[in-house]
Structure 1
């Protein structure tokens, strides 16, 4: 990842709680403008809770104090950077580890990737990214099949029927991730349903439970979380055992891990990270993209023309997908407008400087990506959904600098872009998408920005 822009699926706990767990605190005052602690023990935690999310808290913080601001998490000072210029200035020498992977593994209790061995970390990161790329290349027809099944189902609906995006597209994402990651066992809908149940239990608690300590206070919730994690781990170990040495059938993500020089534990952990994060990122990218298209007839028709020009009546291929420039612009603008991952973070491993401010060693530095993604100094009309902005070199460069595009993009997001491209290339050529009148879609800023309630559209067939 870039030094100053690490794509991360994040929430206040994954950003802050895990780092506090992994590293000793720094009590050195930063001298950076910001909030004083509301409470001595909890710092500004109650202020974050009152605003509804860390992202919404940071919006207010930077609006009040500018692009470099500080607050307190517990007894620990935290620095937040809320402009592209400040993010560009921030330098951190730790290039071997991925902040999301480190934090997520710590919250799951996984330590095999957190031992500080730079060579092993780099090797493991390369294996992980290569496994995702190889899986997409060799299983692209499966993605087409899954998209075709969903669009075919939607085509069969009466034109007046309201279609729930979250329910359907989460199903598409989970089928895509599990079948590509773990193989044919997950062609069975029963396995996918069990996975979905455990995924929800794990994903919700790794954030919510650490925010207020409620997971430790509730023996029922803690047991539910631990049981779900244990069952998911058992499934991954079972799949790895079944597929070890297997040469027939379509290769899955886990096969690439098994062929690398990884331990059984490492294979299980990396598989867990991919299926947990990949499912949520993929689902929400698809949900927001279809939602925004349903609200913009002009954008929808422009995408339809590109799809017809590039693909004709043929299904999309991995090679042809690279030629769908406007589709890429639509997905970029979806990530930006929805603030798909509003926060990232880095531990300041050596003393650094941003603007005139010194950032002490061991200070937690938050990248307020959601603030930057809708900063009027960086984006013209930032609250408008306008994929044409990404025709400009400057917009593409800014997006890349934030870690959302280019060669350094997070592998889970690269996977999500591929699934979304297949979905849109199938859907938009067959159906017109329409918003439900008077529907208000509000965002919930959790691990990934998600609609608070299901989002509905109607569909009608193209001639």
Structure 2
């Protein structure tokens, strides 16, 4: 009888412990101060929605729990670091994956690796990065040509005309990314328009799904999304087959075709680059021009650097590293507008911040935009640039799509600012939002005038 009583008590204790552990609302992420999940499946997703954006949610989280705080995204524990000081302590020595890519591939239903472990993942990432670098080197004149076409169009506008940044710069990004990624087929505007239709349908649902998980609840939306994704995948597979038959080696997909990747993996990498590359490039250009239009002093300082370094010559790849202030403008644009997904990292090995242990498989987020005042001069000091690189910005290898976007944006600024002045539209209110990437709430308008 006594043995049975001991067994019964032990069983109850184990059962209660299992319930407390397995039921999400009863535990905190990793024992770090923070929120318990409010829903077993969605974690704190509804709390994020209630706050209006991920950024607002994180700000309130750190106000309540301090500089190291936790919450749940679905069933995955998340640790948010509230300052660069905590980031410097963050230990993740075997960091091999880009968490933006991991997150995006997960949402698309793709496998992030090659199926053979960490070494294959590293190899695949190197192939991807090398393909982007080679594409920029081989096609830089094309980037310059597309930018000059846009600037020439703007020069023809009357000075009082309102110029829509989003429409024009998303168009520039779409043309640049598709032609550099997939080749001559996308010199045809009808191909670009078809691509944009499917791109917009996929990306808008990725953004919504990340915040509210509503895609699966609407049959019509899910059907529209699946159709757009299927059409995009079909186009990418067709392009890869055509390029392989032609044996050309000039654009992104060509570099992938020279590797040992499978047909499916090539399609997935083309999807990630075209989806993320278009949005990040467009947003970087939109926000950079918007911020320049609000500061005549910054515009003039940038103009002077461009005159000193380039004179009347067009920008070239070898001249870009000399444009230090242009780099500062783009760094400050990224810091202020948060174009990438809140500087996320996937914890691959156990780490530690302050007294807190960061477990393996935790997602690490960093709040980067504590001050929204646009001030490129903050990046004059080397220490500021190093702190910025810690966050995975400024062309760091953790986000090759952002490195691509920096190149396109530098070409745009160096061409545009030497010919035109940008002016803010009076009465326009801009809102910086944090979703997968931040975008203007509505169309962003400026006016332009010629430089004398």
What are structure 2's unaligned runs of at least 5 residues?
1-23
Instruction: Assess, with a 3 A threshold, how the Cα gap between structure 1 residues 264 and 283 changes in structure 2: closer, same or farther.
Output: same
Match of 2:400 among 396, 411, 424: 411
Q: Deviations over 1:166-196 (max 9, x none)?
A: 0100000010000000001000111111111
**2:197 paired with 1:197:** yes
Contact 1:27 1:77 in 2 (8 A): no
Pairwise CA distance, 1:82: 1.2
Contact 2:236 2:267 in 1 (8 A): yes
Name 2:46's counterpart in structure 1: 46
Name 1:304's counterpart in structure 2: 303
Pairwise CA distance, 1:83: 1.1
Aligned 1:21-420 pairs, distance under 5 A: 30-38=30-38, 42-73=42-73, 77-111=77-111, 113=113, 115=115, 117-209=117-209, 211-247=211-247, 251-362=250-361, 364-368=362-366, 371-374=367-370, 382-405=371-394, 407-420=396-409
Name 2:14's counterpart in structure 1: none
> Higher relative CO (CA 8 A, sep ≥ 6), structure 1 or 2?
1
Contact 1:175 1:186 in 2 (8 A): yes
- SS at 2:242 equivalent: helix
- SS at 1:343 equivalent: coil
In structure 2, C-alpha distance between the alignment counterparts of 1:361 and 1:252, rounded to whole Å: 37
Contact 1:143 1:419 in 2 (8 A): yes
Q: What RMSD in Å do the two structures reach over aligned CA positions?
A: 2.2
Instruction: Assess, with a 3 A threshold, how the Cα gap between structure 1 residues 349 and 397 changes in structure 2: closer, same or farther.
Output: closer
Name 2:427's counterpart in structure 1: 438
In structure 1, C-alpha distance between the alignment counterparts of 2:247 and 2:264, rounded to whole Å: 22
Which sits farther off after the overlay, 203-212 or 453-462? 203-212
Which sits farther off after the overlay, 311-320 or 111-120? 111-120
Instruction: Assess, with a 3 A threshold, how the Cα gap between structure 1 residues 267 and 44 changes in structure 2: closer, same or farther.
Output: closer
Q: State which structure, 1 or 2, has the greater radius of gyration over its C-alpha atoms.
A: 2
Instruction: Assess, with a 3 A threshold, how the Cα gap between structure 1 residues 367 and 242 changes in structure 2: closer, same or farther.
Output: same
TM-score relative to the length of structure 2: 0.90
Which sits farther off after the overlay, 57-66 or 42-51? 42-51
Between the two proteins, the alignment pairs up a number of residues equal to 429
Q: Deviations over 1:396-422 (max 9, x none)?
A: 111111111365352111100000011
Pairwise CA distance, 1:328: 0.8
Q: Deviations over 1:281-337 (max 9, x none)?
A: 000000000001000001101111111111111111111122111111111111111
TM-score relative to the length of structure 1: 0.87
In structure 2, C-alpha distance between the alignment counterparts of 1:29 and 1:308, rounded to whole Å: 53
